[in-house]
Structure 1
Amino acid sequence: MDEDQIAHVADLPKVELHLHLEGAAPPALIRGIAAEKHVDLSGVFRPDGGYAFSDFVHFLSVYEAATGVLKTPADYARLTRAVLEESAANGVVYSETFLSPDFCGGGDLSAWRDYLAAIRETAEAAERDMGVTLRGVVTCIRHFGPDKARAAARCAAETAGDWLVGFGMGGDENRGEQKDFAYAFDMAREAGLGLTTHAGEWRGPAEVRAAIDVLGVSRVGHGVRAVEDPALVEELAERGIALEVCPGSNVALGVYRKLSAHPIETLRGKGVKVSVSTDDPPFFHTTMKDEYRNLARTFGWDADVLRELNRTALDTAFCDAATRTRIAKRLETP
């Protein structure tokens, strides 16, 4: 594939389903807010200004330290605008972002409503200005434990609707078990929310199986280590369970040593529904355009393949039918 074809692929309109709002914060924004509030973020940034971390556990601590400067709904409005400016610049026309009531008001429902209103109002203004549509997916934080997950699920259930469309779980996959969070996921399911959870990034195929069998999710965040169990891969394909794959993140964190070793092409070839996302893009030095360019160069994926992945992403998005129809028309752009 020549560079003109790769450039065309990178410019395609895109759907992104796996994006952590705080994890997408430009370092300059976090540094600026920290300076305004006189917060010392020593150790959070590298000399070149990027986020500094050595491994996944360290990444989580840096993530939470950076997030810690975001203390008010106004801070989250600024964050949302900055993230959507980056999404729009990368051709994203629809995005679902993970939001945690633990970070937005400490799990208090009244405070959560205030944060959510600021995020939503900013997103709606950004859609008018930049043409990128955002929807929210509440996430509980696995290493915060099941009790806080229930509080997060209550916040999600009480604010579910046309904008807050899903519930999921992020955090440290090596802490606890998927089954520990079944009550929270049952609450979200009863509220009509779409369900996803991180699984199969650090733990193996059994973690993915627990996600789909115990929690009953229709999407799995990452899920790539399912490839180690051929029977599970076949089941994912048969049941239409979608994987929110973040290739650049997986390589940056060392799940796979290089993109050519990543199983996304194998999974797609076996009929598993996969989409492409950036996860926490400034942490992992990636953008949606970078992901598309790298996939094109590594696997020879042309515009037809990536259009197919975007249609799959939209089909498995948690938005309502009217939004899906509207976004589908935008994906038809040559």
Structure 2
Amino acid sequence: MARDWATLPKVELHLHLEGAAPPEFIRALAAEKGLNLGHIFAADGSYDWADFSEFLAVYEVATSVLQTPEDYTRLSEAVLRARAAEGVIYTEIFLAPQLCAADGSAWADVFAAIREGAARVPGIEARFIPIAVRHMGPDDALRVARIVADTPGASGFGLAGDERQYDVDAFAPAFALAREAGLGLTAHAGEICGPESVRATLDALSPARIGHGIAAARDPALMARLAEEGVVLEVCPGSNIALALCGSWAEHPVAALDRAGVGVTLSTDDPPYFHTSLAQEYAALNEAFGWSRKTFTRLNRLAMRAAFCDDATRTRMLERLGESA
């Protein structure tokens, strides 16, 4: 049962702030603003989408309701309270300046508001990773990287969105700028595209982490490279299953990646869109692979070592994680 895993201390490295917005939160905010978003919701009130492209479209419509810094303060607080209730003690959250601050001059206010909301939630540490949306193009990604490099409090820089769009080499200038600014680097790859997407991303961007990366399991040489270079995967099994990228929990490649020595971590990506929670993910992986509390603690400690945070925070969180028997 999912509730049996709710109390285990957890680390989550791959969570989209806008994608973690509960549908009821978005509906209520839309009602306050007099906006009609009925077409993005199913009859049961959940987000309504059928495939990856439609998921991205619904995601962007839902995000359009978030229009002021106060909206983001409320969202950040709601998302962090939900994570804390699941036993998450440390999380890194992706947010897209292209979606939440189309006017770059407003970005500082929005980012401050997001951090304010997070600070209202006790018992959980949050760090924030602004991302460029891949299908909005490399020129805009470079613009975002410049904004992020000048943002105090940003912990990293990432690339998300539709990995079928644009050659990943085109995003190298944005990543070079972010690297020069001392930001941790992560990029989505190998989610809906094959192992070649992961390999090209490693070659072009040299990120410390790969978002998803599950396609690497189809290429033993690539898995060996990931293990040797210490590149950590932010794996989101429930998301992958919801998007029909693998047929079932038992068929998910996360266990094969782990056995091959690849560093894997566990996250929920956009949980309300995929009808999942971190506790549900742990319960499903326990049933599919027999993973124990000891296994999950090992993976959470690996995630904490891969986190984009200061050493004092890392040490404190590792102490909270402990060594589960």
TM-score band by shorter chain is over 0.9
Between the aligned partners of 1:53 and 1:224, the Cα distance in structure 2 is: 22
Q: Which residue of 2 aligns with 1:173?
A: 163
Query: What is the deviation of 1:107?
Result: 4.8
Q: Which residue of 1 aligns with 2:96?
A: 100
Query: What is the deviation of 1:180?
Result: 1.1
Query: What is the deviation of 1:8?
Result: 4.7
1:90 maps onto 2:86 in alignment: yes
Instruction: Give aligned pairs, total.
Output: 324
8 Å CA contact 1:94–1:134 kept in 2: the answer is: yes
Between the aligned partners of 1:72 and 1:177, the Cα distance in structure 2 is: 33
- Give secondary structure in 1 for the equivalent of 2:221: helix
Q: Which residue of 2 aligns with 1:260?
A: 250
Report the residue type matching 1:145 in the other structure: G
Query: What is the deviation of 1:104?
Result: 2.2
Superposition CA RMSD, Å: 1.2
The two structures have a TM-score, normalised by structure 1, of: 0.95
Between the aligned partners of 1:105 and 1:237, the Cα distance in structure 2 is: 37
8 Å CA contact 1:19–1:98 kept in 2: the answer is: yes
1:124 maps onto 2:116 in alignment: no
Report the residue type matching 1:122 in the other structure: G
Query: What is the deviation of 1:125?
Result: 2.1
Q: Which residue of 2 aligns with 1:247?
A: 237
The two structures have a TM-score, normalised by structure 2, of: 0.97
Between the aligned partners of 1:191 and 1:70, the Cα distance in structure 2 is: 28
Which blocks of at least 5 consecutive residues in structure 2 are unaligned? none
8 Å CA contact 2:75–2:117 kept in 1: the answer is: no
- Which residue, 192, 209, 214 being the options, matches 1:224? 214
Query: What is the deviation of 1:42?
Result: 2.5
Report the residue type matching 1:120 in the other structure: R
Between the aligned partners of 2:167 and 2:72, the Cα distance in structure 1 is: 30
1:285 maps onto 2:281 in alignment: no
Cα deviation digits, residues 184-216 of structure 1 (max 9, x gap): 111100000000000000111111011111101
Cα deviation digits, residues 115-154 of structure 1 (max 9, x gap): 011111121221xxx3111100010000000111111101
- Give secondary structure in 1 for the equivalent of 2:131: strand
8 Å CA contact 1:107–1:151 kept in 2: the answer is: no
Report the residue type matching 2:155 in the other structure: V
- Which residue, 263, 279, 302 being the options, matches 1:312? 302
- Give secondary structure in 2 for the equivalent of 1:94: strand
Query: What is the deviation of 1:11?
Result: 2.4
Between the aligned partners of 2:52 and 2:7, the Cα distance in structure 1 is: 31
- Give secondary structure in 2 for the equivalent of 1:139: strand
1:114 maps onto 2:109 in alignment: yes
8 Å CA contact 1:94–1:132 kept in 2: the answer is: yes
Identity, % of aligned pairs?
52
1:157 maps onto 2:149 in alignment: yes
Which blocks of at least 5 consecutive residues in structure 1 are unaligned? none
Q: Which residue of 2 aligns with 1:323?
A: 313
Between the aligned partners of 1:207 and 1:39, the Cα distance in structure 2 is: 38
8 Å CA contact 2:96–2:130 kept in 1: the answer is: yes
Report the residue type matching 1:29 in the other structure: F
8 Å CA contact 1:8–1:303 kept in 2: the answer is: no
Q: Note closer, same or farther for the CA distance 1:81–1:222 as it changes in structure 2 (3 Å cut).
A: same
Cα deviation digits, residues 34-70 of structure 1 (max 9, x gap): 0011111131100100000000000000000000000
